[in-house]
Amino acid sequence: MKVALINHSDIDGGAARATYRIHHALRRHDVDSTMMVNSAAAGDWTVRGPTTKWEKVVVNVRRPLGGLLNKMLHTGNPVLHSPAIFSSRWPARLNALNADLLHIHWITGEMLSISDVGELKKPLVWTLHDMWAFCGAEHYTEDFRWREGYLPSNRPNYESGFDLNRWTWQRKRKNWKQPLHIVTPSRWLADCVRQSALMREWPVSVIPNAIDTDAWQPVDKTIARQMLHLPPAAPLLLFGAMGGAKDPRKGFDLLKSALDHLRGQMPGLELVVFGQLAPETSVDLGFPVHYAGHLHDDLSLRLLYAAADVMVVPSRQEAFGQTASEAHACGTPVIAFDTCGLPDIVTHKKTGWLAKVFDTEDLAGGIQWILSDDIRHSKLRANARADAVFKFSYRTVAEQYLTLYEKIIRS
What's the pLDDT score for residue 283?
78
| 117 and 233 fall within a common domain | no
| C-alpha to C-alpha distance for 40 and 17, rounded to whole angstroms | 12
Residue 142 inside a domain? The answer is yes
| 160 and 87 fall within a common domain | yes
| 204 and 243 fall within a common domain | no
| 365 and 398 fall within a common domain | no
This prediction has a pTM of: 0.94
Residue 305 inside a domain? The answer is yes
Residue 216 inside a domain? The answer is no
| 38 and 107 fall within a common domain | yes
What's the pLDDT score for residue 373?
95
Burial (CB count <10 Å: 0-12, 13-18, 19+), residue 174:
exposed
| 168 and 310 fall within a common domain | no
| C-alpha to C-alpha distance for 327 and 345, rounded to whole angstroms | 10
| 361 and 401 fall within a common domain | no
| Structural domain harbouring 24 | 2-210+394-410
Burial (CB count <10 Å: 0-12, 13-18, 19+), residue 203:
middle
| 187 and 80 fall within a common domain | yes
Residue 307 inside a domain? The answer is yes
CA–centroid distance for 253 within its chain = 20
Overall number of domains in the chain:
2
What's the pLDDT score for residue 278?
83
Residue 56 inside a domain? The answer is yes
| 26 and 62 fall within a common domain | yes
What string of pLDDT tens digits covers the 411 residues of the chain?
A: 999 999 999 999 899 999 999 999 999 999 999 999 999 999 999 999 998 888 888 888 888 888 889 999 999 999 999 999 999 999 999 999 999 999 999 999 999 999 999 999 999 999 999 999 999 999 999 999 999 999 999 999 999 999 999 999 999 999 999 999 999 999 999 999 999 999 999 999 999 999 999 999 999 999 999 999 999 999 999 998 666 567 788 999 999 999 999 998 898 999 999 988 888 777 788 899 999 988 878 999 999 999 999 999 999 999 999 999 999 999 999 999 999 999 999 999 999 999 999 999 999 999 999 999 999 999 999 999 999 999 999 999 999 999 999 999 998
| C-alpha to C-alpha distance for 363 and 359, rounded to whole angstroms | 6
What's the pLDDT score for residue 279?
81
Cross-strand pairs, 348: 352
What's the pLDDT score for residue 243?
61
| 70 and 10 fall within a common domain | yes
Task: Kindly write down the DSSP assignment for every residue of 125-167, as one continuous string.
Answer: EEE-SSSGGGSSSBS--SS-HHHH---GGG--TTEEES-HHHH
Query: What is the CATH number for 60?
Result: 3.40.50.2000
Residue 227 inside a domain? The answer is yes
CA distances from 154 to 150, 158, 394 (A): 7, 12, 43
Q: Is 352 helix (H, G, I), strand (E, B) or coil?
A: strand
Residue 22 inside a domain? The answer is yes
Residue 215 inside a domain? The answer is no
CA distances from 339 to 140, 355, 407 (A): 15, 9, 31
CB 47 within 8 Å of CB 10: yes
